[in-house]
Structure 1
């Protein structure tokens, strides 16, 4: 008889979700300080390597765990800065997108897309943290738009851009 637990139970007991972002940063300790100042992150754990770089760390933002580590190019571990940007955006739902985006910029983030009302109904914007990661910050619309309403609003927004 197996004593192995289902992964869903392990995640629930450890506070992890079944999909967890894992960020590589040039300066992971500085990234933890930034995420604390910008998004109110809570540090859970850090494990430095023999040379002082972080092998692994975990933080919690809005109840979600994010893992991070320093860049280890000698082992193929590169940050977005190595690649000249990122194709990944971390989505953060908050009560006040304007306030959180302003707090992130004050902490050192750059505005990629200013917070504004979007066609799908959310108040939404994007910042880039000093480590090259993009964060979308959104206050969801309530009540949410239906898929048909979003489709119609998207079509109208695309026509305005042309």
Structure 2
């Protein structure tokens, strides 16, 4: 079964925001990782190492609120309109490729579908209508 999840972007406030959301919505984080936990994080500026790479807060059995902080050193600039993605958890690698290739047609690829260091198959893009998407097969 495919599931869709809201994915939020922050400029250094993801941890604070998600602690707040958790205090209101309840539950526990199913995933929480800082940029300093990522490969080659030693190349990041000190002020970015404590930013959130990925956080996931299950809302119910079918919905997970997720987020990360942007990295200014990588050229990420948070603007209204790029602070949210639609995340689709695919049923298989083939399903992920089908969704990615179909939805990204005429759009702009941010990250092509590929195996990621955290073990999932993942890609992201902005579609031809300006909506940002993440396609993932693996842990969600």
State the TM-score, normalized to the length of structure 2: 0.41
- Normalized per residue, the structure richer in helix is 1
Larger Rg: 1
RCO higher in structure (CA 8 A, sep ≥6): 2
State the TM-score, normalized to the length of structure 1: 0.36
- Normalized per residue, the structure richer in strand is 2
